[in-house]
Amino acid sequence: MADIRYTKDHEYIRVEGDTGTVGITSYAQEQLGDVVFVELPSVGKKVDQGAEAAVVESVKAASEIYAPVAGEVVAVNDALESAPGTVNEDPAGAGWFMKIKIADASQLNGLMSEADYTSYLATLS
């Protein structure tokens, strides 16, 4: 089973082996509203933990998507270019943004578990 970790900026990373699938949480897509455009990184791009990796635009605002861990982008979800609303419909599934080959697995230790993230969300309301 994949290990899922969360950032305070509402990104998730679903870890399988040395690769993590990155997207935004249900909370994030609800705050954004209807997603109308997604700008994805190029495959092969090196990203630093906490650095901007992608951009999502909604009817309300444009927001950066930050890399939860450092690594290399090994895949992007090209389907989002023609169907950005998938981020709203299935943020934790078909609405993923990119896959990162994780450079330093110890960085995952600084991210929140699902229980920690749920507790964090409770502090925001």
Per the CB < 8 A criterion, the answer to whether 56 and 38 are in contact is yes
CA–CA separation, 28 and 46 (whole Å): 24
Strands 62-66 and 71-76, by their bridges, are unpaired
pLDDT of residue 73: 98
Bridge partners, 72 (sequence order):
46, 101
Per the CB < 8 A criterion, the answer to whether 65 and 52 are in contact is yes
pLDDT of residue 13: 98
Q: Delineate the domains of the chain, giving CATH numbers in brackets.
A: 3-122 (2.40.50.100)
pLDDT in tens, 77-87: 999 999 999 99
pLDDT of residue 56: 96
Distances (CA, A) of 104 to 22, 46, 66: 16, 13, 16
Helical residues (DSSP H) of the chain, grouped into ranges: 26-32, 79-82, 86-89, 114-122
pLDDT of residue 1: 54
